[in-house]
Structure 1
């Protein structure tokens, strides 16, 4: 039953009950040192939440990106409040593994953040990413407002054109307004950093298709 449910999206009435208390996470980023992983963030920054498969590797991609101010991993797009990793793995919370990307728009635009997103995983695979199978590994973008939504949707259109020209299928990425982002357990935060598991497993990979620059409004 669990494996069956993990391979499809559940309905709200099927979701696990969760808990009212957030999971414990460290205050500071393991790579950026003095920067927090929870708000408040500087007023000059913007945020985007994305799912690209295993959140360990996805987070590392973004903290290595110039202009990204801080990152964190968690769960988004589901129903269960404050889920644990074990609960998310059952597929009975509705969440996908997600990365909170906090970036400085004066250094990297939203369009450029999306380019990193599209090029570093395969957004055509549905409820999986490579060998990682289940609804928790689905591709997703959760936008903060309508201005972000317009840029996101335009980027999807342009990347779909590039994918189709290269012989790939249709994008299955979930695009939706951000509801609640639940922080994952502390040991998941910056899991692949040098101080934790620099040689750890990362199961995401891109299609090799380049995403066009200039995706809508910056």
Structure 2
């Protein structure tokens, strides 16, 4: 349609228009039993990450103590309330994102960032294994300046570890959530939420990768 392959990021004026109606999801997390869209208890914080296919990424985080809720969706692009099929065309600008709602008194941001860095390959732009396209790009989107500062510092620390082991440069997109695309996290279709709990034998290419963050 635009003469672009799936590894080339589109611009806002090239994005599909989408729709005003949100995709429907269940009210509660299938594993954690907490509200999928909130409201969340006082003191909870939110971080968004992209690690390739969001099925495996979400499971990594819902298994961590101190994580209150997770959800999968689309972020960093411009199409309103995109469908999975639209996102797969690379014409929405979104990546497959995981919303991580966590209690900072129960789990440290360093623990969340370690889970992020260690369980995917941040050195392959717009690709995780055989999954290729901008929807699979590595990303950390913060909701407060302190998160952004910690994410950038963690990138530098992990890059040093990777370089020691002969790996290339990190390509992870790091920024504030409000400044990525239209700044909106769009919930994915309900069948994607908690996918690997609903489908224990489902596709997952996540696991410990490369080197330890610590």
**Is the pair's TM-score, using the shorter chain for normalization, greater than 0.5?**
yes
Cα deviations by residue, 1:25-84 (Å, 9 ceiling, x for unpaired) = 110111012x11102111121110000000000001111111111100000111111100
TM-superposed CA distance for 1:126, in Å, is: 0.2
Q: Distance in 2 between matches of 1:47 and 1:177?
A: 12
Please state how far the C-alpha of 1:4 moved relative to its aligned partner: 4.0
What are the equivalent positions in structure 2 for 1:173-188 lying under 5 Å apart? 173-178=172-177, 179-188=183-192
Other-structure match for 1:27: 27
Please state how far the C-alpha of 1:147 moved relative to its aligned partner.
Answer: 1.3
Measured in 1, the distance between the counterparts of 2:89 and 2:199 equals 24
- Preserved CA contact (<8 Å) 1:192 1:198: yes
How many matched pairs?
Answer: 209
Q: Does 1:165 align with 2:169?
A: no
Mapped contact 1:2–1:91 kept (Cα < 8 A): no
Structure 1 segments, 4+ long, off by >6 Å, are none
Which residue of structure 2 aligns with residue 11 of structure 1? 11
Q: What is the alpha-carbon distance in structure 2 between the residues aligned to residue 203 and residue 9 of structure 1? A: 23
Partner of 1:53: 52
Question: For 2:18 and 2:212, how far apart are their aligned partners in 1?
Answer: 40
TM superposition shift of 1:21: 1.0
Aligned to 1:100: 99
Q: Distance in 1 between matches of 2:52 and 2:45?
A: 22
Shift of the alpha carbon at 1:20?
Answer: 0.8
Could you say which residue in structure 2 is the equivalent of 1:74? 73
SS at match of 1:19: coil
- Superposition deviation, residue 208 in structure 1: 2.8
1:5 deviates by 3.1
Structure 1 residue 205, shift from structure 2 partner: 3.9
> Equivalents in 1 of 2:112, 2:209: separation in Å?
17
Contact kept in structure 2, 1:3 and 1:90, CA below 8 Å: no
Residues 100-124 of structure 1 deviation map (CA, whole Å, 9 limit, x = unaligned) = 0011111111111101100000000
Residue of structure 1 in register with 2:202 after alignment: 200
Q: 1:2 to 1:161 in 2, by over 3 A?
A: same
Name stretches of at least 5 consecutive residues in structure 2 with no aligned partner.
178-182
2:193 to 182, 189, 192: 189
The CA distance in 2 between the partners of 1:19 and 1:156, in whole Å, is: 35
The TM-score normalised by the length of structure 2 is 0.94
Q: TM-score, normalised by structure 1?
A: 0.93
Corresponding residue SS for 1:5: coil
Kindly report which structure 2 residues correspond to 1:118-157, keeping only aligned pairs within 5 A, or say none.
118-157=117-156
